[in-house]
Structure 1
């Protein structure tokens, strides 16, 4: 477990309190369609279409909709970060999984673990992250991304070797895309944790609680 301490710090190791199933969430109770203001209704209609196909009653959208000025800005940022960055899904989803593990955000892990595998991330890499370990046998670009993200979370700084490796693999645009992904999914994680949003079912193994 020393490796985990070195990667994420003591704060990330405190076992999270039990989370409720998604259908049991009592915070940010879903609004009914007839309760929506015109701006809320416009945003709900916007996220219901492809590629998002989202319901405004699902996490984290049922929280976002409480701020109809912020919600469309968040979903616009999410549109870019999920589907239009310079990174392939394998890498963008890897960054999201690292963020979910950082926060022990169960709903986020549940949603993105299958997407990471669909994007051809090796399940062994994802499972090592879930266990709080640095994955073995990562591809070179995965290792560069992992080291950049964990340096930011762990040390709040990026050393020259870590930056150089990331620059060689992703360029300056790619580095900013990675920072954008983890920054946005930090916000998503905080929203889901505030909501007490747990995974809706057991189809994806939940993140284990990590301790010293």
Structure 2
């Protein structure tokens, strides 16, 4: 039986913690200790009232070893990135909008608000539009990531702008972050995961 969208798993049934295999349970425990509290603090929902994971986290339980490695990349990016939090959220919302990943846009609308991005700018970014009044770094990040996710090419002039703005490390950091959220958006879209309230 196909789960309803109201279950928030999309095409995948939500998994109960007591039906998980050992490696899945290890990942579940890690997600409950890291991502669920972060989601609550950020203002979005990452689990049901009975403790089942939603968003990309439910899908991640299907491949726990690789998902655990992805979580290590997530942690490393958060610790070692050269990008500001506002720039990070511009990157993530730009990817989410390009992929039309409903849950990603839902979650990072809340995170971007906590990062101090104005609501009207968040709404435009979530709709795939470039707001006026972005900082130089935010402006370049939007243009770079929009091109990367839509045409998959970075022309010379845009590369030079990004290089002057972020340096080589910043460009690599931006590509890693965008790629991470392309993967998350791929999970969300493949399994038709809705945002709460949709």
- TM interval, shorter chain, is 0.7 to 0.9
> Can you give the 5+ residue segments of structure 1 that lack an aligned partner in the other structure?
1-19, 203-212
- Provide the rounded CA distance (Å) in 1 between the counterparts of 2:122 and 2:10: 30
Matched, 1:142 2:126: no
Rounded Cα–Cα distance in structure 2 between residues aligned with 1:175 and 1:22? 39
Secondary structure of 1:141's counterpart equals helix
Q: Partner residue of 2:160?
A: 164
Q: In the comparison of the two structures, how many residue pairs are matched?
A: 183
CA contact (8 A) 1:23 1:200 kept: no
Instruction: Show structure 2 runs of 5+ residues with no match.
Output: 38-45
Question: Residues 84 and 115 (structure 1 numbering): CA distance in 2 closer, same or farther, change over 3 Å?
Answer: farther
SS in 1 for 2:130: coil
Q: Does 1:182 align with 2:178?
A: yes
Partner of 1:207: none
Q: Which residue number corresponds to residue 15 of structure 2?
A: 31
Could you say which structure has the higher helix fraction? 2
Shift of 1:52: 5.1
Q: TM-score, normalised by structure 1?
A: 0.77
| Structure 1 consecutive aligned stretches of length 4 or more whose deviation exceeds 4 Å | none
Is 1:106 aligned with 2:90? no
Q: Which residue of 2 aligns with 1:41?
A: 25
Aligned to 2:71: 75
**Range with greater deviation from structure 2 (75-84 or 39-48):** 75-84
149-158 or 65-74: bigger deviation: 149-158
3-state SS of the aligned residue for 1:124? helix
Cα distance between partner residues in 1 of 2:34 and 2:16: 22
TM-score, scaled to structure 2? 0.82
Give me the whole-angstrom Cα distance separating, in 2, the residues matched to 1:130 and 1:84: 26
| 2:58 paired residue among 62, 66, 70 | 62
Cα distance in 2 for partners of 1:67, 1:199 equals 22
Indicate the structure whose relative CO is greater, using CA pairs within 8 Å and at least 6 residues apart.
1
Checking the alignment, whether the CA contact within 8 Å between 1:101 and 1:132 is kept in structure 2 is: yes
Q: CA RMSD for the aligned pairs? A: 2.1
Alpha-carbon distance in 2 for matches of 1:168, 1:195 = 39
Return the offset for 1:134.
2.3
Cα distance in 1 for residues equivalent to 2:131 and 2:81: 24
> Cα offset for 1:141?
0.7
